[in-house]
């Protein structure tokens, strides 16, 4: 205990006056380092183009089987209580909270690469993949890298529409898909289930195009999932309807032909055969009518399962840039250089020991 008190008493207080004078001795160094740091940071920030954000909001229709559960979950979440796994506890596995995971899938991103975009300074359309790889505005060093990739990749000049195989990605494709996580984002409000989709790009027109196209693609994915079973049932009933129609027409023609051929014949054998054909025709007509009713029910079921999407905020071409904040970045960088330079000076003047207590 006495040793600790002795160590504390031996600890020298910080001499702020000495630190100030030591830093003041190197004021010429600051006059050189800080303007150079500002010039370099300004040059770097001016090389980065402006980027814009286009945002759309839509509310997906929830299936009837999960509406009551989701309403109860929303009420519980307002009190900080989470019910279930957030999937509605219904048979609809693709709940809105899983839409961001759907957009992060490889298949979805591969379909995004196929979308056609047209930059403002160009009259030619490109696939989104080619646009990101070779035609997007960027800093000068980025253009050098893209030109180098063009020189090394001989297929770029001959094949402007790049086909991405989601089951076998190249390193460039995988890296580009990872960057999409920051370019295209999706957030879902767990209380209201309102989905906010944002796209960032240096070209405001491209950001608006990709926001609309991504929203449409997501709606198509959700619709295909929600209606998959109903579409299978409709296709099956369509086959049954075609077969029932053929059987009915066949039975009807057979009865008509036999009746015309034996119009004035009253033999018991002929009458019995005519009655059998008529019974078969009536039976096939009954089956055909039942299949028609089933087919109409399947069409109604498909329409019922097709989700509706209410667009709360439509996309518009952004006018105001999102970033970069050049002045703030330059100030932060100059301040960082000031701190680093000061630490180096204090280390050389042996002032760091008194500051950190060594």
CA–CA distance, 112 with 176 (Å, rounded to integer): 11
Report residue 31 CA to chain centroid gap: 49
Close Cβ partners of 67 (under 8 Å, ≥ 6 residues apart): none
* Residue 329, both tokens: 């970045």
* Residue 145, both tokens: 């890298």
Place of tokens 């600051």: 30
Tens digit of each residue's pLDDT (9 = 90 or more) over 237-285:
999 999 999 999 999 999 999 888 887 777 888 888 888 989 999 999 9
Secondary structure element (H or E) that encloses residue 78, with its range: none
**Single pTM value for the model:** 0.71
CA–CA distance, 77 with 288 (Å, rounded to integer): 51
Tens digit of each residue's pLDDT (9 = 90 or more) over 54-85:
999 988 876 555 444 444 455 445 444 444 44
CA distances from 326 to 31, 44, 47, 267, 330 (A): 22, 9, 10, 104, 6
- pLDDT bin (cut points 50, 70, 90) of residue 333 is very high
Q: What is the DSSP string of 21-61?
A: HHHHTTHHHHHHHHHHHHHHHHHHHHHSPPBEEEEEEEEEP
State the average pLDDT over residues 106-127.
Answer: 90
Close Cβ partners of 254 (under 8 Å, ≥ 6 residues apart): 277, 280, 281
State the average pLDDT over residues 2-7.
Answer: 50
CA–CA distance, 250 with 220 (Å, rounded to integer): 41
């Amino acid at each position: 205990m006495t040793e600790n008190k002795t160590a504390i008493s031996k600890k020298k207080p910080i001499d702020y006056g000495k630190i100030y004078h030591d830093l003041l001795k190197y004021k010429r160094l600051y006059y050189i380092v800080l303007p150079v740091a500002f010039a370099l940071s300004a040059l770097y920030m001016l090389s980065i183009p402006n980027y814009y954000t286009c945002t759309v909001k839509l509310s997906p229709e929830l299936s009837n089987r999960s509406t009551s559960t989701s309403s109860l979950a929303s009420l519980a979440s307002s009190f900080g209580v989470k019910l279930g796994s957030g999937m509605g506890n219904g048979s609809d596995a693709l709940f809105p909270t899983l839409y961001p995971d759907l957009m992060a899938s490889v298949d979805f991103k591969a379909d995004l690469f196929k979308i056609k975009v047209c930059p403002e300074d160009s009259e030619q359309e490109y696939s989104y993949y080619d646009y990101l790889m070779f035609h997007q505005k960027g800093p000068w060093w980025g253009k050098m890298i893209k030109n180098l990739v063009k020189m090394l990749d001989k297929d770029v000049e001959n094949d402007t529409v790049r086909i991405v195989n989601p089951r076998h990605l190249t390193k460039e494709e995988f890296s580009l898909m990872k960057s999409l996580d920051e370019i295209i984002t999706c957030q879902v409000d767990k209380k209201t289930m309102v989905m906010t989709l944002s796209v960032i790009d240096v070209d405001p027109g491209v950001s608006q195009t990709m926001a609309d196209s991504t929203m449409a693609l997501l709606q198509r994915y959700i619709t295909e999932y929600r209606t998959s079973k109903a579409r299978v049932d409709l296709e099956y009933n369509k086959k049954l309807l075609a077969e029932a129609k053929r059987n009915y027409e066949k039975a009807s023609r057979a009865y008509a032909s036999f009746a015309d051929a034996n119009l004035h014949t009253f033999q018991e054998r002929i009458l019995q055969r005519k009655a059998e054909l008529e019974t078969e025709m009536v039976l096939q007509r009954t089956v055909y009518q039942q299949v028609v009713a089933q087919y109409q029910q399947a069409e109604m079921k498909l329409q019922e399962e097709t989700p509706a999407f209410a667009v709360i905020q439509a996309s518009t071409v952004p006018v105001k840039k999102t970033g970069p904040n050049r002045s703030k970045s330059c100030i932060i960088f100059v301040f960082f250089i000031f701190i680093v330079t000061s630490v180096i000076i204090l280390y050389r003047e042996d002032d760091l020991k008194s500051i950190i207590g060594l």
